[in-house]
């Protein structure tokens, strides 16, 4: 406003020097550049350029989940693993090539992250209704929301306008995504690094009310940890041998009770010391997050609203906007 006012004053004042007009013009250009570089995401970003976007994505997501209920958790996880590595930019979707190493072979992702074919199907469907308009990064954000809704959770307004990265980072994927062996301090630190609070951490961890985990991710917890219900540990040990390399990919539900329904049973499980991962149970282990876990176990409504707010906040992590990045034609490779 100040720069703009100065510019108008310079032009309207016949006594203004050419140098003052030049300086005011430069100031306005700088201001405009600053404004474009910090473009904001918007819930109405595609309202005119792709009005059928939401119904198109929702249709594919619902179809995929009807074929395999677990897919909802997988699509939600894709968004999380994307946003925690250099922001929500679709970098996790890039395939390795002879000259490029992406994030799919990082320790948190290899043999674990899934749903890429469904993202391909969504992209194909979206390209039919509005070619070259919608980014793969935004598709991940919408698919995550639709997955939660399809499995019984609360909806939220997804902010859009992200563009796709032309790079990826294997090292950032290995370092930024907290492993299932994480302590509470480590989890708080990793989330803080992304601008997310401890409250966000506890809310977003509730995503583990759906989905499955591999034996290799919870073996140490069910055999070595003390903060676990003995009967629950034995149940999980029956399908997860103690020997490393044996049954590593055998699956168990993250929520024993309702693994394909988005509810607050995850928190009830933690209070019963039936969290599947070490990084789950540390949220209720005599520490600072116990009270929030208790609150969510008693009030599904507060969990749903806090989860939605935290998902929106996570979606704001370092998006590419304006002229940065690109709109990929194929989510697996740069244009």
Would you state the pLDDT for residue 113?
Answer: 96
Mean pLDDT of all residues in 199-225: 98
Q: What are phi and psi of 197, to 5 degrees?
A: -85, 170
Band of the pLDDT at 9, cuts 50, 70, 90? very low
Average pLDDT, the chain: 91
Q: What is the pTM for the complete model shown?
A: 0.88
Give the pLDDT score at 17: 53
Distance CA 170, CA 50 (A): 33
Q: What is the pLDDT of residue 20?
A: 54
Task: Kindly state the average pLDDT of the residues 297-317.
Answer: 98
> By mean pLDDT, which of 12-16, 200-204, 210-214 is the weakest?
12-16
Give the whole-angstrom CA distance, residue 162 versus residue 46: 11
CA distance 223 to 239: 12
The residue from 81, 208, 221, 278 that is catalytic is: 81
164 C-beta neighbours (distance < 10 Å), count: 25
Nearest C-alpha neighbor of 215 from the set 256, 177, 244: 244
Name the residue among 181, 211, 183, 176 with its Cα closest to residue 83: 176
Taking only the tens place, the pLDDT of each residue in 215-270 is: 999 999 999 999 999 999 999 999 999 999 999 999 999 999 999 999 999 999 99
Q: What is the DSSP letter of 41?
A: P
Instruction: Note if 278 is an active site residue.
Output: no
pLDDT of residue 22: 53
DSSP state of 160: B
Alpha helix ranges (H) inside the chain: 2-12, 18-37, 53-67, 71-83, 116-129, 136-150, 170-176, 184-193, 198-205, 215-224, 230-237, 265-271, 278-281, 290-298, 300-315
Q: What pLDDT shows up at residue 5?
A: 42
- Closest Cα partner for 324 from 140, 166, 95? 166
What pLDDT band is residue 2 in, cutting at 50, 70 and 90?
Answer: very low
* 94-114: average pLDDT: 94
DSSP-assigned states of every residue in 251-271 = EEESSSS-TTS-SSHHHHHHH
Distance separating alpha carbons of residues 173 and 23, to the nearest angstrom: 45
Instruction: List, in order, residues 6 or more apart from 236 with CB less than 8 Å away.
Output: 218, 222, 252, 276
Q: Give the tens place of pLDDT for each residue, 133-180.
A: 999 999 999 999 999 999 999 999 999 999 999 999 999 999 999 999
226 DSSP 8-state letter: S
pLDDT value of residue 216: 97
The CA distance from 129 to 142, in Å, is 16
Please determine, for residue 14, whether its predicted confidence score (pLDDT) is greater than 50: no
Split at pLDDT 50, 70, 90, the class of 206 is very high
Beta bridge partners of 252: 213
Report pLDDT digits (tens) over 21-58. 555 555 554 444 444 334 689 999 999 999 999 999 99
The radius of gyration of the chain from alpha carbons, rounded to an integer in Å, stands at: 23
Tell me the average pLDDT across 206-221.
98
The pLDDT of residue 334 is above 90:
yes
Q: What is the pLDDT of residue 19?
A: 55
- H helices then E strands: how many in the chain? 15, 2
């Amino acid at each position: 406003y100040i720069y703009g006012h100065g510019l108008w004053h310079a032009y309207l004042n016949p006594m203004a020097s050419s140098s003052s007009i030049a300086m005011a013009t430069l100031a306005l250009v700088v201001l405009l550049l600053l404004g474009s570089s910090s473009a904001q995401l918007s819930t109405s970003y595609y309202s005119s350029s792709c009005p059928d976007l939401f119904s198109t994505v929702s249709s594919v997501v619902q179809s995929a989940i009807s074929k395999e209920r677990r897919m909802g958790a997988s699509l939600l996880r894709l968004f999380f693993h994307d946003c925690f590595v250099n922001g929500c930019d679709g970098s996790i979707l890039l395939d390795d090539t002879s000259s490029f190493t992406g994030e799919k072979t990082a320790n948190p992702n290899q043999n674990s992250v899934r749903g890429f074919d469904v993202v391909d199907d969504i992209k194909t469907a979206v390209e039919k209704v509005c070619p070259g308009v919608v980014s793969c990064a935004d598709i991940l954000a919408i698919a995550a929301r639709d997955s939660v809704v399809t499995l019984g959770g609360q909806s939220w307004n997804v902010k859009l306008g992200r563009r796709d990265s032309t790079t990826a980072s294997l090292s950032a994927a290995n370092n930024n995504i907290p492993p299932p062996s994480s302590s509470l301090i480590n989890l708080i630190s990793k989330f803080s690094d992304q601008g997310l609070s401890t409250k966000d951490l506890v809310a977003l961890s509730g995503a583990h009310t759906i989905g499955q985990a591999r034996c290799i991710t919870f073996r140490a917890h069910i055999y070595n940890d003390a903060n676990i219900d003995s009967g629950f540990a034995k149940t999980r040990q029956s399908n997860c041998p103690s020997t490393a390399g044996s049954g590593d990919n055998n699956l168990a539900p993250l929520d024993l009770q309702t693994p394909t329904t988005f509810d607050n049973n995850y928190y009830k499980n933690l209070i019963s010391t039936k969290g599947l991962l070490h990084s789950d149970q540390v949220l209720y282990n005599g520490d600072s997050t116990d009270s929030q876990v208790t609150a969510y176990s008693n009030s599904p409504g507060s969990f749903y609203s806090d989860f939605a707010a935290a998902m929106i906040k996570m979606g704001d992590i370092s998006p590419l906007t304006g002229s940065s990045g690109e709109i990929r034609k194929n989510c697996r490779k740069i244009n």
